Every structure is written in C-alpha cells, then in structure tokens.
Structure 1
Amino acid sequence: MTNPGGPQLLGMDAVWVATFLSVVACMAVIIAIYSAATVRDPMGKRVKALNERREQLKAGITATTSKKRAKLVRKTETTDRMRQLLSKLQVLQEDQVKAIQQRLAQAGIRRKELAVTVIFSRMVLPIIFGGGVGLWIYVLGGVPDWSAMKKFGAFAAATILSYKAADLYLTNLVTKRTDAIRKGLPDALDLLVICAEAGLTVDTAFNRVAKELGRGYPELGDEFALTAIELGFLTERRTAFENLAYRVNLDSIRGVVTTMIQTEKYGTPLASALRVLSAEFRNDRMMRAEEKAARLPAIMTVPLILFILPTLFIVIIGPAACRLGDAFSKQ
C-alpha cells in the first residue's frame, strides 16, 4: 500500500523505494560475505586431473577404472557417429578439426574429440534455434505487429548467433585464459631464474614453479605442471616446449619456448636469458597498465553521464522536489 500524503519520488512512495533498495543492498552484502567465506582451492581439481593424466600417459591407457573406461567408450561412440554423419555430408575437413583442437587446448580443454562436437553444433544449432524462431515468427505468428524487415532480422540474428555460439564460447575461454597466463608470466620467469641458479633441472624447476604459482595463477600453474610431466617422459624435450606454445596463444610464451629450446640445443646460460625476458615482460605489463589508465577517462564518460550524474541529481534535488510537491498538494 502507498501513503498518498507521504513523500513521492518519481511517482512512487519514497519509503517503499528506500525499503526496496535496502533489501537489495542487504542481499548484495550477504552474497559478498558468502563468496568471501567460501573460497575454494582453484588447483585441487587441476592437480588431480594432471596426476591422472600422468598415470594414463605412463601406462599407455585412456582410463584407470572400468567406470571411466565405459564412459569414455560411450563418448567415443557418440563422437564417431557425429564424425560419420559429417563425413557423409562432406563438411568435415581435417585442417578445420586440427584448428579447433588447438583452440580447445588453448581454452584449457584437453579432450580433442570435442572438436567434432563443435563442428556438429555449427550444423545442428542453426536448425534448432533458427528454425524454432522462424517457426514461431512465420508459422505461429508470434510477433504480428512487427514488420517484414524486423521478422527477417530476428530470424537471421537467431540463425547466425546459433551458428557462431560454439566459436564465441571458445574465443571467450581462450581470451580469459590467455590474459590470466600473461599476468603471471613475469613472476613465473623470476621463479624459473631462481630455480635455475639454485641448480635445479628444467623439469624440476617447472614443477616447482607450478606448485608455487598454483594458487595465484592456476592457469599458468596448470600449463607448467603439464610441461613438467611431458619433460619427464617424452623422448625429445623440444616437443614438450613446443606443446606448451601450442596450448597457449601468447607471443610471450613462444619467446620463452624459443629461449628454452636454444638453451637446450646450444648450452647457453638459462638464468641470464630468462632474466632478460622477465624484465621485458614486466615492462610490457606496465605499459599495458598505463595504456588502460590513459583510456579510463574516456571510458568513464558514458557511465558518468548515464548513471552517476542522474543519481547525484536525484539525491540532491529529490528531497526539495518532494517538499515542493507536498506543499503544492496541500494548497
């Protein structure tokens, strides 16, 4: 119920508006406290998965239990059916599969068979969502007030977005993972320098850095731990470094990989080369921060005009407007 004699704010009772905003603020505080109190270890599942991967690679099998083996068999059968259907339709290309497999690896997804699923989704999702929107618009008459151009625009947008949905999702994952790895790379190189000067081997140094940076940078710790595992069992250490560059879409990682390969090949000092790279990456990170800081005033202009200034005007002028309204209503 609203109080007709009470203060009004944009046509609504100011007491009810303040109550609603107080409830929203209390809920936000409760959610923030819950999020801060339930922090989980981000490396728990990753360490477990890496240990399982180590055992699988050493034993030469794809599963350690019958339950996992049956699950993998079912997934493989489903993927094989998708592959057969795409091959019959002549839409499956090996180069396309390899490119998607690399994108999956860069997104932190280790299952290469999902590349066929991504290609299959490009064919199925437009039929499901695009066809559903077309059926709803043109057959069922869902939006009779729209013009023909608006109807076609909605149908085309649904079809295109459903076709690009898997690619957009992968691109988002790759971007977030790459940014997280870029932030922790200078610290990782500093730790590698310390480990190299302490006399540790390369695989032990990578493993040590992965453990130290696992909590702060779980993505980088995951990649370094997997590289340490591959350095331990692969016949050519060069392949392990190349796999690291394959899994991370970052020029800085490629520079580190090139340095590691040259050090392994020519016997050049590893610590000095990594120290130079670390200083370069730190300067690059500082330049990125300064660039973002320089763009901040221009970016904040639109939110300032749309959100901050109207709220400020309401807070300042609102009480006076409510009093004037009450005064005129009494007269």
Structure 2
Amino acid sequence: MNLETIASTQFLAALLAMVAVSGTIFSLVWPMFSRNALKTRMKSVALERDKLRARERARLQASQSDARASLRNQPKAKMKNFVDRLNLKEMLSDESTVERLRMAGFRGSAPLYYFLTARIALPGVIFLFAITYAFLVLPATLPAISKICFCIAIAGLGAFVPNLYLKNKIDKRKLSIQRAWPDALDLMLICVESGMSIEGAFQRVAEEVGIQSIDLAEEMSLTTAELSYLSERRQAYENLSKRTGVDGVKNVMMALIQAERYGTPVGSAIRTMADDTRDQRMLMAEQKAASLPPKLTVPMILFFLPVLFFIIMSPAVMQVMQMNAF
C-alpha cells in the first residue's frame, strides 16, 4: 500500500465507515456483557449503612447505659467528706453550676463533687510543679521572693482550668446538637405526620439521629423517659431545652408547649419550626462565609505578601547585582 492509496478519498471514507460501524457494534453489544453496577453499588451502600447504623446504635446504647450508671453513681466517700467539711458546695457552686454540668453531659451528684475538688486541688498540684521548676531549673541568681510570686500566680490560674474545660465541653456539645437538630426535626415531622405519638417520635428520632450526634440522641431518649413518668409534659420539654442550651431546641420546645396548651396541630408547629431552623443554619453558614475575608487578611499579610514581593523583586535584584559585578 503506497502513500497515494492512503491519501485517497476512498480509503479515508472506508476507514471512517469502519470506525463508525465498530463503534456502533461496540455500543450495542457492550451493555449485554457489562454488569449492572448501579445495583451492586446500591447493595454495597445499603450494607454499609446497616453496618453503620448497627455500630452507632450499639455505641448509643453503651453511652445511655453509662449515663444511667452515672445517675446512680455516688461520689467517693473521701471526696464527699472533703467537700462537705470545707463547705465548698455553698462557696464555689450554685444552681447555675449544676445546670452547666448538665449542659456538658455530666449528670448526678458525683460530677459536682469532682468539679469542686478539681477547683481546689488543681491549684495546689500546679503550685508544687511550679515551685519545683522554679528552684531546680531556673537560675539561682533570681530572688526567691520572685520565684514564689511567680509560682503563686501560676497556681492561681489553675483555679480557672476546670471552668475552661467545662465551657469547652459545653460548646462542643452544643455545636454537635445544633448541627444535627434540623435533620432530627425533619424526622420528627415525618413521624408525627405518619400517626405516631410525640413519645414514639422522640424515641424513633433518638434511634436514627445517633449516627450524626450521640449527644442529641441521648437527650431525646431522656426526654422520652421524662414524657412517660413526669406529671406535666411541659416540664419534660423545658428540661430538654435547659440541658441542651441551643436556641433552636428552645424555640421548638416552646412551640410544642403552646401546641399542647391551645390544642393546635403538633405537625404544623414542627413544620414551621423546621423551616425556621434550616433558615437559621443557612444564615449561620452565610455569616461564617462573610467573616472569612477579614480572618484571611492577617495570614495573607504574614505569609503571602512576603513571598510575592520576593518573586517580583528577585529578577530586578539579580539584574542590579550583575550590573554591579561588571
């Protein structure tokens, strides 16, 4: 086959026809031999979802059993005697301290004694470490009174460490509940509109939302129990809003209380609050996106601009150095 034959119009037309026929045959025959990947993927996703659900339910049951155990646990005798002897409950705690411990997920009387003991014992432990460091590591030329004052100041900061830990725990828990609450509210709406009672809806949502937030699932399970044995359902709703500390949960609980008081449909109240909750979450996302440019200003000034100036000025500096060399 010479070059003229390859360059001829007939050869090119035959080549294109062969490619077209081959493509058509391939497109018609290939689906017959290929497996249905969609069914396989959906089956694998369903199996993985069942595994995740079983694992999260097991973890939720374990956390609930730990929570029930913590409700029955009592503080150690020595710690209780220490706190009661020094009268620390009246000096360092009040009703707000108990509420903050509940918001952090610590229930019962034992966490309060642990918290008060930590506020007293931690400064002493820090003072011992600081005095050891000051007299064994720091130079001996420093005055002893300066070292002691330094150790006392460091030990004084230890009294605020339990409060900082508690605040951090509360913030993390509120964030977890706040992120999962719109989805839990949608699930609750589906359950209520399908004919389930509000207790059954809370229990069902607690089982399903555990994959996303263990804290919210635990609180809703406790609310289900309170709805069963408390004389007033309003008290159970108020307890849930106090334990979570999330504004969205408080608004929904107020709506449920008003719906039961005035006889309005619960589904309508939950649907309205679900829309408002999703709007609030979108508004929070927009606020975070709007606050991003100011937050990036300092990193850009410290890290990006010096490198940019170096790249721009390097050729000019190199040319000046070459000119001076000659």
TM-score (norm 2): 0.69
Q: Greater share of helix residues, 1 or 2?
A: 2
Q: Which residue of 1 aligns with 2:62?
A: 48
Map of 2:102 onto structure 1: 105
How does 1:1-331 map onto structure 2 within 5 Å? 41-50=55-64, 62=72, 72=73, 76=74, 78=76, 80-93=77-90, 96=93, 98-137=95-134, 139-140=135-136, 142-144=138-140, 151=147, 154-309=150-305
Structure 1 partner of 2:30? none
How far did 1:118 drift? 0.6
Cα deviations across residues 195-250 of structure 1 (Å, max 9, x unaligned)?
11111000110111122222123222221122123323434323322221221112
- Is 302-311 or 272-281 further displaced after alignment? 302-311
Distance in 2 separating the partners of 1:264 and 1:77: 39
Letter of the structure 1 residue corresponding to residue 299 of structure 2:
P
Runs of 5+ consecutive residues of structure 1 not aligned to the other structure: 1-38, 63-71, 325-331
Asked which structure has the greater CA Rg, the reply is: 2
Amino acid at match of 1:208: R
- 2: distance between equivalents of 1:155 and 1:94? 24
- Tell me which amino acid in the other structure corresponds to 1:177: R
> What is the root-mean-square deviation of aligned Cα atoms in Å?
3.8
After superposition, the C-alpha distances for 1:156-179 in whole angstroms (9 at most, x for unaligned) are 552233111111111101001101
Larger RCO: Structure 1 or Structure 2 (Cα < 8 Å, ≥ 6 residues apart)? Answer: 1
Inter-partner Cα distance in structure 1 for 2:168 and 2:148: 28
Shift, 1:306, TM fit: 3.0
CA contact (8 A) 2:122 2:159 kept: yes
Task: Give the 3 Å change call, closer, same or farther, for CA 220–310 of structure 1 in structure 2.
Answer: farther
Please list every run of at least 4 consecutive aligned residues from structure 1 whose deviation after the TM superposition is greater than 4 angstroms.
39-43, 51-54, 143-154, 308-314
In the TM superposition, residue 286 of structure 1 has moved relative to its aligned partner by 1.5
Task: Give the TM-score, by structure 1 length.
Answer: 0.68
Measured in 2, the distance between the counterparts of 1:129 and 1:166 equals: 13
User: Which residue does 2:17 correspond to in 1?
Assistant: none
The amino acid that maps onto 1:130 is: F
Residue 135 of structure 1 and its aligned partner are, at CA, apart by: 4.3
